[in-house]
C-alpha cells in the first residue's frame, strides 16, 4: 500500500492515451499483429519499418502531416511479472512526414532480435514527443500493448470517481458517463465482464476500479480516501513507461 500523493506524478506521466471509446473487445480472439485495429499498419521490410495510415486513421495522420516524427520499433528485453517493460531498446530515426497521407519508412539497423512493436511519435521539442500510433509486430508486443492499454484505461477513469468535494461517484453515474464502459461489481478485486471496467464504492470512503487484459490479467486500483492509501497491482507500470 502506498500514498496516493506518491503516485500522482507517475500516474500523470502514464495516463496520456486512455481510450476514448467504450467498445468491447473480443477476448476469445487472438490479439492482432501488424495493426493497431484503428487504421494503422506496420510491417518489417529488410531492416526497415514501414508504417501506413489507412483511411480510418486519416485524422491521426493530419496531426503529423508536414511535421517531424520519430518512426521506429521497440524490442522488449525484459518484462516484469505483471508484463510491464523494465528494459526496452528502440531503433529508428526522425523524418518529415509527407503532407499527403503516405507510408512512413525508416531504417532500423541490424538487431539481434525481432522488434515487438513499432511507433510513430510527433516531435514537439528536442526532448519531448507524443505517441501517435503503436502497432504490435510480435505476439509479445501485442500482449504488452494490450496490457498497457488496460492499465491506462483504468488510470484514465480515476478522475471520474470523485469530484473536488463530496462522496465518491455512484456506480450508476459512472456507467452513464462512460456509456456503459464502466459497470458495477460486488466489491474490491472483483473481475468485471471482459471489455468493461469494474467499479465499486462504499459510497463514502473507498473506491475501486479493475479491468481484465485480453489474457485475463486483472489490473486494479483501490483508494481509501480518509487515509490517502492506494492498493494496486499496477505500480510496476508507473516506472519505465515513457516513450522511447
Asked if 37 and 85 count as a contact pair (C-beta separation under 8 A), the reply is: no
More confident: 6 or 32: 32
Residue 6 pLDDT > 80 = no
114 and 179 fall within a common domain: no
Give 38-85 as a DSSP string. SSEEEEEETTEEEEEE-GGGHHHHHHHTTSEEEEEEEEEEEE-TTS-E
The model's pLDDT over 36-82, given as tens digits with 9 standing for 90+, comes to 999 999 999 989 999 999 999 999 999 999 999 999 999 998 888 87
* Residue 142 forms part of a structural domain: no
pTM value is 0.86
The model's pLDDT over 149-179, given as tens digits with 9 standing for 90+, comes to 999 999 999 989 986 677 999 999 999 999 9
107 and 180 fall within a common domain: no
- Can you tell me the distance from the alpha carbon of 37 to that of 40, in angstroms, rounded to the nearest whole number? 7
110 and 165 fall within a common domain: no
The model's pLDDT over 219-236, given as tens digits with 9 standing for 90+, comes to 999 999 999 999 999 988
Q: If you average pLDDT over every residue of the chain, what do you get?
A: 86
44 and 128 fall within a common domain: yes
Q: How many CB atoms lie within 10 A of CB 181?
A: 21
229 and 189 fall within a common domain: yes
Structurally, how many domains does the chain consist of?
2
Q: Which of 193, 229, 233 is nearest to 211 (CA)?
A: 193
Amino acid at each position: 500500500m502506498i500514498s496516493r500523493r506518491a503516485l500522482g506524478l507517475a500516474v500523470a506521466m502514464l495516463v496520456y492515451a486512455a481510450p476514448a471509446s467504450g467498445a468491447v473487445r473480443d477476448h476469445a480472439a487472438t490479439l492482432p499483429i501488424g495493426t493497431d485495429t484503428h487504421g494503422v499498419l506496420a510491417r518489417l521490410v529488410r531492416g526497415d519499418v514501414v508504417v501506413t495510415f489507412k483511411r480510418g486513421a486519416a485524422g491521426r495522420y493530419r496531426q503529423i502531416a508536414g511535421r517531424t516524427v520519430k518512426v521506429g520499433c521497440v524490442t522488449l528485453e525484459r518484462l516484469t511479472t505483471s508484463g510491464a517493460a523494465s528494459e526496452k531498446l528502440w531503433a529508428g530515426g526522425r523524418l518529415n512526414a509527407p503532407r499527403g497521407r503516405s507510408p512512413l519508412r525508416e531504417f532500423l539497423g541490424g538487431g539481434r532480435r525481432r522488434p515487438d512493436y513499432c511507433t510513430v511519435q510527433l516531435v514537439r521539442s528536442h526532448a519531448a514527443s507524443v505517441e501517435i500510433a503503436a502497432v504490435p509486430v510480435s505476439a509479445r508486443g501485442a500482449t504488452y500493448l494490450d496490457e498497457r492499454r488496460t492499465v491506462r484505461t483504468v488510470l484514465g477513469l480515476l478522475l471520474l470517481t470523485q469530484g473536488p468535494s463530496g462522496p465518491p461517484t455512484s456506480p450508476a453515474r459512472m456507467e452513464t458517463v462512460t456509456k456503459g464502459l464502466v459497470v458495477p461489481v460486488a466489491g474490491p478485486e472483483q473481475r468485471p465482464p471482459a471489455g468493461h471496467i469494474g467499479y465499486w464504492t462504499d459510497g463514502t470512503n473507498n473506491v475501486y476500479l479493475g479491468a481484465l487484459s485480453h489474457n485475463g490479467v486483472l489490473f486494479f486500483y483501490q483508494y481509501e480516501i480518509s487515509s490517502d492509501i492506494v492498493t494496486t497491482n499496477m505500480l510496476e507500470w508507473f516506472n519505465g513507461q515513457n516513450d522511447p
